[in-house]
């Protein structure tokens, strides 16, 4: 029997090797035809020194069924090599490369075209996902099938969060839609959306929406009849390494692009749009004027929910806004309402005060609860907190 021992072992080893190689082959075939639940799409440019934190936050998600499409937008540093190294370690990563720098809009559209998942999650290379972001957001998309695009709340670089165990709660989509008329409405790197809807309506990021491509995407989805909302959970750590690789005129271009999109949206509601009111950084008094105009126009156009629009206006805006004072405190922004020449109160709560001094540029008030404070008026007729008065 001894003379058969070695050949027998060789035969067993050969069979084992045959089975192993075929298992690997079948595994690779399975991977090839597997459709992931989620496609995470991220573009990056010259971020070799920081992109790892964003990547690892995605790889460490509690939801494992995703593909991670990363587009290197023609980086000139070692970003591409860094991405390839991560891809060698985790087969869920798919790295694409633009030979030259094409910009975020081109890169994101390339990622959307490559994505296989029914859900697409956006990610930026200078943020970090909370570990359970994809799991919670996908659950919310399942529970709310009428929502096409859903964002989340965001945390600062040092913000704290706790894992949710209850069912996801989302913002009223009517409120989210109305918010997009005066701001972006949703933080772009938090959004997750349904690819089928985008394909059906031929929606992609528009090239003419430079640096405000997210606002254009939301507008196109809403115009196509889709609903958008925000999951009321903090699932992204925003601004880990923000404001890198931005052109000098980035802010100005973004501002102008947003105003263009905002005008397009308002023009669907009203014949005349007062362009002096446009701009996403406008404060509540300007928003109140926009909402008031929308209320009248929407009575016939019925593009947004009329009751929700009126409720938002009623909550944030005094009836006689021209006689109210807009105030920026160190803890809040609000209106001061004059009850008479000597007494005022805050519009958003019951805090009341007695007027000590009221000149063309200075307002001093004595709060019933908090002591005496001084405010100065700027060129836009906004009063800003200056100091506490002894």
Rounded Cα distance, 137 and 190, in Å: 9
| Domain of 155, in residue numbers | 32-237
Q: Check whether 268 has a pLDDT greater than 90.
A: yes
- For the cut 80, the answer to whether the pLDDT of residue 82 exceeds it is yes
Residue % of the chain over a pLDDT of 90: 70
Q: pLDDT-derived band of residue 60, with 50, 70 and 90 as boundaries?
A: very high
What pLDDT band is residue 281 in, cutting at 50, 70 and 90? Answer: low
* C-alpha pair distances (Å), 52 with each of 31, 63, 126, 362: 25, 19, 9, 51
Evaluate whether residue 356 is within a structural domain. Answer: yes
Length of the chain: 390
Cα–Cα distance measured from residue 361 to residue 211, given in angstroms and rounded to the nearest whole number: 37
Q: How confident is the model at residue 2 (pLDDT cuts 50, 70, 90)?
A: very low
Q: In terms of domains, do 297 and 374 share one?
A: no
* 168/348: higher pLDDT: 168
Same domain, 374 and 337: yes
Do 139 and 71 share a structural domain? Answer: yes
Task: Write a three-state SS string for 7-52.
Answer: HHHHHHHHHHHHHHHHHHHHHHHHHHHCCCCEEEEEEECCCCCCHH
What's the total number of domains in the chain?
3
Q: Are residues 228 and 326 in the same domain?
A: no
pLDDT digits 0-9 by tens, 92-111: 999 999 999 999 999 999 99
Residues 134 and 210 in one domain: yes
Confidence (pLDDT) at 1: 46
Query: Could you tell me if 207 and 350 lie in one domain?
Result: no
Asked if pLDDT for residue 24 goes beyond 80, the answer is: no
Residues 169 and 291 both lie in one domain: no
Among 294, 316, 338, residue at a domain's last position: 316
pLDDT of 251 higher than 90:
no
Q: Are residues 297 and 224 in the same domain?
A: no
Contacts of 339 (CB under 8 A, 6+ apart): 345, 352
Confidence of residue 245 (pLDDT cuts 50, 70, 90): low
Return mean pLDDT, the chain.
89
Residue percentage of the chain with pLDDT more than 70:
88
Q: What is the pLDDT of residue 360?
A: 87
Residue 350 and residue 323: Cα distance in Å, rounded?
18
Single pTM value for the model: 0.83
- On whether both 227 and 282 belong to a single domain, the answer is no
Is residue 299 located within the same domain as residue 381?
no
**pLDDT grade, residue 341 (50/70/90)?**
confident
- The answer, yes or no, to whether residue 25 has pLDDT greater than 80, is no
Query: Domain of 108: which CATH number?
Result: 3.90.550.10
Phi and psi at 113, nearest 5°, equal -65, -30
* pLDDT for the residue 6: 55
Q: In sequence order, what are the beta bridge partners of 83?
A: none
- Look at 33 and 386; give whichever has higher pLDDT: 386
The reply to whether 300 and 332 lie within a common domain is no
**Domain assignment of residue 18, yes or no:** no
Q: Of 193-202, 246-255, 351-360, 368-377, which range is least confident?
A: 246-255
Look at residues 316, 338, 353 and tell me which one is the last residue of a structural domain.
316
Same domain, residue pair 326 and 346: yes
């Amino acid at each position: 029997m001894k003379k058969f021992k070695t050949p027998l072992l060789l035969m067993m080893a050969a069979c084992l090797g045959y089975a192993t190689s075929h298992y690997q082959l079948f595994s690779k075939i399975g991977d090839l035809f597997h459709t992931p639940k989620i496609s995470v799409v991220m573009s990056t440019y010259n971020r070799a020194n920081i992109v790892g934190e964003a990547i690892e936050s995605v790889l460490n998600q509690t939801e494992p069924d995703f593909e991670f499409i990363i587009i290197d937008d023609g980086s000139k540093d070692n970003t591409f090599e860094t991405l390839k190294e991560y891809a060698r370690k985790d087969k869920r990563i798919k790295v694409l490369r633009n030979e030259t720098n094409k910009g975020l809009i081109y890169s994101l559209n390339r990622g959307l075209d490559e994505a296989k998942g029914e859900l697409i999650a956006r990610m930026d290379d200078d943020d970090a996902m909370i570990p359970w972001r994809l799991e919670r957001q996908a659950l919310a998309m399942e529970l709310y099938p009428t929502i096409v695009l859903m964002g989340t709340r965001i945390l600062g670089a040092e913000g704290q969060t706790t894992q949710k165990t209850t069912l996801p709660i989302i913002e009223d989509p009517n409120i989210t839609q109305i918010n997009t008329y005066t701001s972006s409405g949703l933080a772009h790197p938090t959004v997750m959306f349904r690819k089928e809807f985008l394909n059906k309506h031929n929606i992609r990021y528009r090239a003419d929406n430079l640096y405000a491509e997210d606002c254009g995407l939301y507008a196109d989805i809403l115009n196509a009849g889709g609903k958008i909302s925000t999951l009321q959970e903090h699932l992204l750590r925003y601004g880990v390494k923000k404001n890198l690789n931005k052109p000098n005129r980035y802010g100005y271009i973004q501002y102008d692009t947003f105003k263009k999109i905002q005008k397009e949206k308002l023009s669907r509601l009203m014949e005349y749009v007062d362009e002096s009111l446009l701009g996403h950084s406008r404060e509540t008094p300007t928003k109140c004027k926009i909402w008031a105009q929308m209320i009248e126009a929407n009575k016939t156009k019925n593009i947004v929910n009329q009751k929700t629009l009126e409720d938002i206006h009623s909550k944030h805006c005094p009836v006689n806004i021209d006689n109210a004072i807009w105030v920026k405190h160190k803890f809040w922004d609000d209106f001061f309402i004059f009850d008479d020449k000597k007494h005022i109160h805050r519009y958003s709560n019951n805090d009341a005060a007695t007027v000590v001094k009221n000149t063309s540029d200075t307002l001093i008030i004595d709060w019933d609860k908090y002591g005496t404070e001084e405010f100065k008026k700027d060129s836009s007729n906004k009063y800003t907190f200056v100091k506490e008065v002894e």
